[in-house]
């Protein structure tokens, strides 16, 4: 029961990541067959959206192996939400072997391009020392970046998480994290 609940929540997160990409929302409304045709032609947005459908089981049977396959294709093309979602899939072991180091690698790629979901998920890896050495300064920075570009419940969640991390930091560490946050710039992939 707990595993099924976790997978349902993760499907919702994956679907939520898709909501951050306006083109993705439009394509997700297309029939799965049309989306598959675009995905097979190499369209990264379509590949991502097809992965969302497989992860959530909307219009197709839920299949995390297929979701991971389509996410990998989108992520390899530099699709930031796809990279972040692939990091989530590796973190949780959905359709792939759980691999925190691989999760961090993909989350870094999405986060570095400015994807707020990737930044939040990467911060959680740093805060918990999963796949990386535990580092509150890095976690605070990524949470600050995610909160700065978010609104509503997401922003509140990111800010609460940042405040929790700050509670484990010295004033000097917080100042260092704030400086890193101000100096950070997104690095788009070609």
Evaluate if pTM is beyond 0.85: yes
Those residues of the chain that have pLDDT short of 50 are 1-9, 12, 18-28
Cα–Cα distance measured from residue 32 to residue 133, given in angstroms and rounded to the nearest whole number: 41
> How confident is the model at residue 29, as a pLDDT?
67
Q: How many angstroms separate the Cα of 30 from the Cα of each of 34, 35, 74, 88?
A: 6, 6, 18, 25
> How confident is the model at residue 20, as a pLDDT?
40
Domain boundaries defined on the chain: 1-98, 122-190
Other CB atoms within 10 Å distance of the CB of residue 162: 25
> How confident is the model at residue 1, as a pLDDT?
41
> How confident is the model at residue 59, as a pLDDT?
87
Where are the strands (E) in the chain, listed by range? none
> How confident is the model at residue 9, as a pLDDT?
45
Q: How many angstroms separate the Cα of 137 from the Cα of each of 29, 35, 120, 127?
A: 40, 41, 14, 9
> How confident is the model at residue 26, as a pLDDT?
39
Cα–Cα distance measured from residue 119 to residue 113, given in angstroms and rounded to the nearest whole number: 9
């Amino acid at each position: 029961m707990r595993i099924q609940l976790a997978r349902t929540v993760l499907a919702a997160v994956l679907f939520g990541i898709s909501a951050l990409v306006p083109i993705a929302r439009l394509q997700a409304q297309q029939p799965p067959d049309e989306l598959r045709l675009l995905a097979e032609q190499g369209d990264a947005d379509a590949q991502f959206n097809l992965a969302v459908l497989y992860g959530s089981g909307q219009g197709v049977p839920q299949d995390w192996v297929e979701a991971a396959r389509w996410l990998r294709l989108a992520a390899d093309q530099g699709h930031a939400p796809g990279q972040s979602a692939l990091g989530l899939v590796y973190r949780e072991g959905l359709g792939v072997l759980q691999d925190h180091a691989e999760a961090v690698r993909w989350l870094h790629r999405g986060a570095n391009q400015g994807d707020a979901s990737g930044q939040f998920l990467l911060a959680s890896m740093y805060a918990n020392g999963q796949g990386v050495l535990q580092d509150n300064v890095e976690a605070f920075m990524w949470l600050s970046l995610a909160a700065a570009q978010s609104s509503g419940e997401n922003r509140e969640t990111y800010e609460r998480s940042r405040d929790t991390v700050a509670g484990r930091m010295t004033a000097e560490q917080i100042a260092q994290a704030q400086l890193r946050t101000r100096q950070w710039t997104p690095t788009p992939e070609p």
